[in-house]
Amino acid sequence: MSDIEAPFLAKLKDGDEAAFAGLVTDLGPGLLDFARTFTSSPALAEDIVQETWLAVIRGLHGFEGRASLKTWIFSILVRRARTIAARDARLHARAAARASEVEWEPGQGRRGLWEETPVPWSVVDPEAIYQSQEALQVLQAAVDGLPEMQRQVVLLRDVEGLSAGDVCNILVLSETNVRVILHRGRAKLRQALDRYMRDGATSEGAAPSESVGRVAARGIR
Amino acid sequence: MNCYEAIDLMGDAIESRVPSDSRAGFQEHLDECPACCTYFEQLRTTVSALARLPRRGDPVVLTQNLRDAYRRRSR
């Protein structure tokens, strides 16, 4: 545990409501996003988060801070979610429907990463992409469309910014597994951005909202 | 280094964690292979963009239910 976190944990254990409220505000949105990867039901995702917080409250006094608070809480969510979502039949139907895609394997080169030789995007400064609401929307839709495990690893690693080791612990996966799953997920997200960037490049002057409309029309979100 | 080896190292490279004995070879490969170079740049941009995704939904507030649970536990 970091030196910054120890006093905060002490406050939490001490019943400091402001500290607890702060924790819920900080981690709540990320937890809800993450819970949504386990189920197609928004209500169930909220239940998973609620149950996670209740388990956090129950476990707080026994928590010794060997992992960071964030890692500990996400681990609890995974255990809750796996129990709860196992009952959600829709989840299995969804996972099965995606099994046919070509996935990248270590040592297999670009197979599963790119078909046509990648062409540089027309923007020189990536900052233009980071600043574009539309590009970020495309990316968000692509994250939502990832297979479950890839979405989970990408959310924890790249959106939440947790370390590779923490992600392994939270999802109970080996480091090799996490690396492969992460690469697969990132590859699909790059592809989604690539499609978006190239659409923009070929139909010069097209209203930007048009391409977002297409994304929405495909029903990804 | 060939494309196969370079591609396997891209994940590490994004986090600047390429093993030191492969670092020069990886960079040389990117310098001479436009496909890998472009792909890697785009992958890196994608990962950076992920960290900037806006949070969705309403800001989370502490529900009364949770507040009560926390109070009971802390007593």
User: What pTM does this model have?
Assistant: 0.80
CATH number of A5-92: 1.10.1740.10
| H or E element in which residue B73 lies | helix B64-74
CA A55, chain centre distance (Å): 22
Per-residue pLDDT of A30-71, as tens digits, reads 999 999 888 888 888 888 999 999 999 999 999 988 889 999
Whether pLDDT at A200 is above 80: no
Thinking of the domain A103-217, which architecture would CATH place it in? Answer: Orthogonal Bundle (1.10)
Whether pLDDT at A134 is above 80: yes
Could A29 and B34 be called an inter-chain contact, meaning their C-beta atoms sit closer than 8 Å?
A: no
Residue located via tokens 């020069």: B24
Average pLDDT over residues A84-108: 67
| Amino acid occupying residue A185 | G
Average pLDDT over residues B14-35: 94
Q: How far is Cα A136 from Cα A134, in angstroms, rounded to an integer?
A: 5
Mutate one of A158, A177, A179 to test the B interface: name it (highest B CB count within 10 A).
A158
For residues A26-41, one letter each, b for 16 or more C-beta atoms within 10 angstroms of the residue's C-beta and e for the rest, the string is ebbbbbbbbbbbbbee
Write out the residue limits of the CATH 1.10.10.10 domain(s) in chain A: 103-217
Q: How far is Cα A206 from Cα A190, in angstroms, rounded to an integer?
A: 22
Residue of A nearest to B46 (CA): A190
Q: How far is Cα B56 from Cα B58, in angstroms, rounded to an integer?
A: 7
The alpha carbon of residue B17 is apart from the nearest alpha carbon of chain A, in Å, by: 12
